[in-house]
A and B are shown apart, each in its own frame.
Chain A
Amino acid sequence: MKSIITTAALLAMLGTTFTACKKDKKEEPTPNAPTPPTNESELITTMKVILHDTTTQTNTTYVFSDLDGAGGNPATFGNSGADSVINITANHVYEATILLLDESKSPVDTISNEVEEEGADHMFFFNSIAPTGTPYNTYLSGSMTNIKYLDLDANNRGIGLSTEWTAPSMMMAKSPLTIELKHQPSVKDGSYAPGETDIQVEFKLKVN
């Protein structure tokens, strides 16, 4: 009896695999070339807001970028900082398109395409307000601007990559405009609270 147990115990020891024996060769700490990590999530370096003025048929682009990601060099607004203020004219109708890019890659990766593909898990919010109505509308009380969602996900909820902006009257003051992308996997219901913030950029809006 005893020798059976003893033998079984020894066999159990031998039968166990050593993790370290299966170690990868590449696990050497001295690198020669910058190898991009195989499993890094996309980096979103740049947000572009492209405003198409349907009255004058002109495009204006506002850029916010952080080319080396969080940490490292600080993020900046384009045009030497002037892009932090978005200018629109009262009573003009604007079609706004949001582009998300990874400019650290070559060629540049357009992340907003993936947001659109997974629209049912993502949603843009303006000033952290949950939109109402059909189609979705967000009313920014400070600038009296109305933002209408032009795109829809598979569940007929807005995504916000494409929107229509209108403001009835000129305002002397600039108002805050925070554009947020929230990742709401299987919890997206049109409300703001659920999920985690993927993008959050604070612009100012001036109605001329």
Chain B
Amino acid sequence: MRQLFCAYTYFLFFLLFIIGLPAYSQNSCTLSFSGRIIDLDDGKELEGTFIILKSTNQTQITNEHGSFKFSNLCSGEYSFIIQHVGCHDTVISVDLKKDTKLTIKLPHSAVELSEIDIMDKQPDMIKTQTVNDITSKELDGTRGQSLGESLKLISGVTTLNTGSTISKPMIHGMQGYRVLILNNGIRQEGQQWGNEHAPEIDPFIAQKLSVIKGANAVRYGSDAMAGVILVEPNDLPDTAAVTGEINLVGMSNGQAGVASGILQGNFDKIKGFNWRVQGTYKKGGNIKTPTYYLKNTGVEELNFSYALGYHRKNWGIEGYYSQFNTKIGIFSGAHIGNLTDLKNAFNSNKPQDSLATFSYDLDRPYQDISHELAKGKFHLHLAPRWIANLQYAYQYNIRKEYDKHKPLNNALAALDKPELDYRITSQTVDLVIEHLNIKSFRGQFGGSYMNQKNVYLGRFFVPNFINNTWGVFASERYIKQHIEFEAGVRYDQKHLQSFYYIGNDLQKPDLNFNNVSWNVGTILKPKTNLNFFVNAGSAWRAPAPNELYSNGVHHGVGSIERGDANLKTEQVYNITATGLYQSKKSLIEITLYHNQFSNFIYMNPAAQPELTIKGAYPVFNYEQANAHISGMDAKLQTQLFNHLEITTKAMILRAWNYSINDYLVYMPSDRYSMDIKGFTKTSKKINEIYIQAGYQFITKQWRVPQNTDFAPPPKEYGLLSAEIGGDFDFGKQKLQVSLTANNLLNVEYRDYLDRFRYFADSQGRNFTLRIKVPLTIYDKK
């Protein structure tokens, strides 16, 4: 049956490739669009101007004569954005029927008079790395979900789940310390030491989410081994208006509600001074599987952030503050005592603590997490085309975990304290000096420093530590019309002091790590609509304190975890190659990657469980192995008959542990998805209305090491989803409404990468209603 199902899925994908093909071959795409950019006032040729083809983001840069050329374009209408240092963005539309050459005059000095600096809005050019975006429009369809769940839209990104409320993003099967999250330009420093620790970020902050795949150590820090997740808000507004946005989300499963709002504007009296406030509240109750409710799976979240900016001609300063607060219930039937409890839970049809009725009650066990970020950023134009960025950030993270039962002692129990209480304070400073195009070269160099302090107040699991890290890097890029090269190198040093007790003896291990990371890359652009990206690099990370020193019961997970104080540096060599074809109606993107690890740190289950007074516990030892992870992500998108869009995605991953000569544990299985979207413009009041259906098929992960899991991996499953939505006008007020159904057929399934799979089914059918109201409260015009 499984083979049949798989064969059917493969066939469907094959069919779609066939359907898609004519769309690419029918256009005669041999036209060129070229031109010259000159200054309106003095007629000077403007070198280093960006011309961006809006539909595909294809970018060209003018040479020393101000000339540029796009070739291999199809006939049709195109929009180009023209960007030059010190000028406002200009958009031109071209109806391309034959080879076209234009001279474009930019009103250069006129803008300089406004004394507002816009230089920091220079677009970051296409990187030689593989970058996938979730655009603002796509994000609208994920509102209300956690950051990890939203990121799943990108092929190659999966999540490590603890039920449906805790999702930890995985890029190409790697997670935790190997994935760097940049929240508004700051590396997120929360508490990564558990698989049930999700990123402490409000996804409503983001107007765009990007994932850079592959080792990307040079610019972002040596530990960006699997990739980087960028959570990016919009720039602060520079027009004289007060605008905002309200997002309302309601979900049937868990009877959850989310409300989020943004308000932003600037000051008339002080030019270049702008502000933004943002906040989100979320409340949800018990999640329902197809047949029962899961006790204590509610969530409550309150987040807010604000930003202030002041920009002058040659410099700008920005302040940002955000707070993330959440209380997440952990399904009480999954909070087990020992191995016997786990086996009993797994063998029963219906979990303990499954309920027949819904409730918002949130009791022990639960996590209570706060994350605070304060950031200051300053930039200065040192000389034409030279910019310096200085950034300081302060982060404070409190993680409290409450066990299922309180102490037996009534006096202690009355205090209702968390059993685990960890607090981590991180301070980071980054200085980056960047030069824009000088004779086809563009590059940056700089340094960073981080100081981090960890303390625990409850039960010991991870020691107190002080971590000081600094690094320096340099990276240059050579850009020509049909080819680009990039090379970068970075050096990091890390000093880790830890403090813990064995009996009454204080242990103070003091460790130093240092290493070099590098990357080289190229973009080949044989045709305007066909790009190849190849990037190779090396990255490393020092073992983390929990991997070195943890020793005890990771409660709730029901296992003993043992660190190894002799762990060495983990290193990866990565190569990622992407072919990208984009035309007006279709897109094909195929990414191939290979990661070769030496000293890959992982949790290896010990052969014998450990006998304790609470019974037998499975033991996991942190060990190192040589390993590889490689695979393919593919995306094919095609438009048919102007009103139909078909998107298919595939993700294939293989991983091998050379030390045990078996598969690497906890890797995502192969998966395929297909979405069909029909859209139309109907009347004056309805701008766009669309209807969408999607099917996602997750294969069974049978590539697992032998005899290491508590239970065999669950079987494959397929989920059907549907959505209807549109943009409406009520007078001047715009409104975006959509209704989505996930797991439409209410399928009972369990996922290999969900820790709750030992105990309960995954979430059943869920209807989500989303309403987005853009607001214009005041506009000078």
On A, residues with C-beta under 8 Å from B are 1-3, 5-6, 9-10, 12-13, 16, 18-20, 23, 27-31, 34, 37-42, 44-47, 64-66, 68-72, 74-75, 111, 114-115, 117-118, 128, 180, 183, 185, 193-194, 196-201
Residues of chain A with a CB closer than 8 A to B453's CB? 27-29
Min distance, Cβ A3 to any Cβ of chain B, angstroms: 8
Contact B614 A199 (CB under 8 A): yes
Min distance, Cβ B506 to any Cβ of chain A, angstroms: 7
Q: 15 pairs across A/B with beta carbons < 8 Å?
A: A9-B306, A16-B323, A20-B372, A23-B396, A23-B423, A29-B453, A29-B466, A37-B459, A41-B408, A70-B612, A71-B553, A74-B610, A183-B405, A197-B341, A197-B614
Contact A39 B277 (CB under 8 A): no
Residues of chain A with a CB closer than 8 A to B551's CB? 71-72
Kindly identify which residue among A29, A70, A183, A194 contacts B617, using a CB–CB cutoff of 8 Å.
Answer: A70
| Additional A-B contact list (5), CB under 8 Å, known A34-B506, A39-B417, A42-B407 | A2-B778, A23-B425, A41-B406, A41-B407, A196-B341
B694 at the interface (CB under 8 A from A): no
Kindly identify which residue among B323, B335, B337, B613 contacts A201, using a CB–CB cutoff of 8 Å.
Answer: B613
Kindly identify which residue among B407, B459, B614 contacts A200, using a CB–CB cutoff of 8 Å.
Answer: B614
Contact A30 B304 (CB under 8 A): no
A37 and B499 contact, Cβ closer than 8 Å, known pairs A27-B423, A30-B464, A47-B613:
no
Q: B560: nearest residue on chain A (CB-CB)?
A: A71
Residues of chain B with a CB closer than 8 A to A118's CB? 408, 410
Residues of chain A with a CB closer than 8 A to B464's CB? 29-31
Residues of chain A with a CB closer than 8 A to B615's CB? 180, 197, 199-201
Name the residue among B323, B417, B457 with the largest chain A CB count within 10 angstroms: B457
Min distance, Cβ B499 to any Cβ of chain A, angstroms: 6
Kindly identify which residue among A6, A20, A66, A128 contacts B394, using a CB–CB cutoff of 8 Å.
Answer: A20
Q: How far is the CA of A29 from the CA of B506 in the complex (A)?
A: 13
Q: How far is the CA of A41 from the CA of B372 in the complex (A)?
A: 28
Q: How far is the CA of A23 from the CA of B455 in the complex (A)?
A: 12
On B, residues with C-beta under 8 Å from A are 242, 263, 265, 267-268, 275, 277, 304, 306, 308, 321, 323, 335-338, 340-341, 344, 348, 352, 370, 372, 374, 394, 396, 398, 403-410, 412, 415, 417-419, 421, 423, 425, 453-460, 464-466, 499, 501, 503-504, 506, 551-553, 560, 562, 610-617, 777-778
Contact A44 B613 (CB under 8 A): yes
Q: How far is the CA of A72 from the CA of B461 in the complex (A)?
A: 12
A66 and B421 contact, Cβ closer than 8 Å, known pairs A29-B454, A30-B464:
no
Contact A30 B407 (CB under 8 A): no
Contact B501 A34 (CB under 8 A): yes
Q: How far is the CA of A111 from the CA of B412 in the complex (A)?
A: 13
A30 and B466 contact, Cβ closer than 8 Å, known pairs A13-B308, A196-B337:
yes
Kindly identify which residue among A16, A66, A194, A196 contacts B613, using a CB–CB cutoff of 8 Å.
Answer: A66
Q: How far is the CA of A185 from the CA of B365 in the complex (A)?
A: 13
Min distance, Cβ A101 to any Cβ of chain B, angstroms: 10
Q: How far is the CA of A114 from the CA of B406 in the complex (A)?
A: 12
Contact B553 A5 (CB under 8 A): no
Q: A115: nearest residue on chain B (CB-CB)?
A: B408
A2 and B265 contact, Cβ closer than 8 Å, known pairs A12-B277, A75-B611:
yes
Contact A196 B777 (CB under 8 A): no
Q: How far is the CA of A164 from the CA of B465 in the complex (A)?
A: 52
Interface of A is mostly: loop
Contact B499 A196 (CB under 8 A): no
Kindly identify which residue among A29, A70, A115, A198 contacts B553, using a CB–CB cutoff of 8 Å.
Answer: A70
Q: How far is the CA of A55 from the CA of B455 in the complex (A)?
A: 57
Contact A196 B335 (CB under 8 A): yes
Q: How far is the CA of A72 from the CA of B562 in the complex (A)?
A: 9
Q: How far is the CA of A41 from the CA of B777 in the complex (A)?
A: 54
Contact B421 A39 (CB under 8 A): yes
Contact A41 B459 (CB under 8 A): yes
Q: Which 4 A-B pairs have the closest CB atoms?
A: A200-B615, A39-B417, A197-B337, A29-B464
Q: How far is the CA of A47 from the CA of B458 in the complex (A)?
A: 24
Residues of chain B with a CB closer than 8 A to A115's CB? 408
Kindly identify which residue among A5, A31, A37 contacts B778, using a CB–CB cutoff of 8 Å.
Answer: A5
Q: A185: nearest residue on chain B (CB-CB)?
A: B405
Total cross-chain contacts (CB, 8 A)? 180
Residues of chain B with a CB closer than 8 A to A30's CB? 464, 466, 499
Interface of B is mostly: strand
Contact A18 B372 (CB under 8 A): yes
Contact B306 A12 (CB under 8 A): yes
Residues of chain B with a CB closer than 8 A to A41's CB? 403, 406-408, 412, 419, 459
Min distance, Cβ B131 to any Cβ of chain A, angstroms: 33
Q: How far is the CA of A110 from the CA of B613 in the complex (A)?
A: 15
Min distance, Cβ B138 to any Cβ of chain A, angstroms: 29
Contact A5 B263 (CB under 8 A): yes
Q: A27: nearest residue on chain B (CB-CB)?
A: B455
A74 and B611 contact, Cβ closer than 8 Å, known pairs A16-B304, A19-B372, A31-B499:
yes
Contact B458 A39 (CB under 8 A): yes
Min distance, Cβ A134 to any Cβ of chain B, angstroms: 26
A19 and B396 contact, Cβ closer than 8 Å, known pairs A69-B552, A75-B612:
yes
Contact A37 B352 (CB under 8 A): no
Residues of chain A with a CB closer than 8 A to B403's CB? 41
Q: How far is the CA of A196 from the CA of B556 in the complex (A)?
A: 11
Q: How far is the CA of A18 from the CA of B305 in the complex (A)?
A: 12
Q: How far is the CA of A112 from the CA of B328 in the complex (A)?
A: 32
A75 and B421 contact, Cβ closer than 8 Å, known pairs A27-B455, A117-B410:
no
Q: How far is the CA of A26 from the CA of B611 in the complex (A)?
A: 36
Contact B340 A9 (CB under 8 A): no
Contact B499 A29 (CB under 8 A): yes
Min distance, Cβ B412 to any Cβ of chain A, angstroms: 7
Name the residue among A2, A65, A117, A180 with the largest chain B CB count within 10 angstroms: A2
Residues of chain A with a CB closer than 8 A to B335's CB? 196
Residues of chain B with a CB closer than 8 A to A31's CB? 464, 499, 506
Contact A200 B338 (CB under 8 A): yes
Kindly identify which residue among A10, A111, A197 contacts B338, using a CB–CB cutoff of 8 Å.
Answer: A197
Q: A2: nearest residue on chain B (CB-CB)?
A: B778
Min distance, Cβ A192 to any Cβ of chain B, angstroms: 9
Contact A18 B418 (CB under 8 A): no
Q: How far is the CA of A20 from the CA of B772 in the complex (A)?
A: 33
A29 and B455 contact, Cβ closer than 8 Å, known pairs A39-B419, A39-B421, A183-B405:
yes
A34 and B504 contact, Cβ closer than 8 Å, known pairs A39-B418, A41-B419, A196-B337:
yes
Q: How far is the CA of A74 from the CA of B606 in the complex (A)?
A: 14
Min distance, Cβ B32 to any Cβ of chain A, angstroms: 48
Residues of chain A with a CB closer than 8 A to B611's CB? 74-75
Min distance, Cβ B331 to any Cβ of chain A, angstroms: 13
Residues of chain B with a CB closer than 8 A to A44's CB? 613-614
Q: B503: nearest residue on chain A (CB-CB)?
A: A68
Contact B404 A40 (CB under 8 A): no
Min distance, Cβ A166 to any Cβ of chain B, angstroms: 27
Q: How far is the CA of A34 from the CA of B501 in the complex (A)?
A: 7
Min distance, Cβ B224 to any Cβ of chain A, angstroms: 26
Min distance, Cβ A36 to any Cβ of chain B, angstroms: 10
Contact A29 B465 (CB under 8 A): yes
A5 and B242 contact, Cβ closer than 8 Å, known pairs A12-B306, A29-B466, A196-B336:
yes
Residues of chain A with a CB closer than 8 A to B321's CB? 13, 16, 18
Kindly identify which residue among A6, A12, A46 contacts B242, using a CB–CB cutoff of 8 Å.
Answer: A6
Kindly identify which residue among B408, B506, B553 contacts A111, using a CB–CB cutoff of 8 Å.
Answer: B408
Q: How far is the CA of A44 from the CA of B405 in the complex (A)?
A: 14
Min distance, Cβ B319 to any Cβ of chain A, angstroms: 9
Q: How far is the CA of A71 from the CA of B560 in the complex (A)?
A: 7
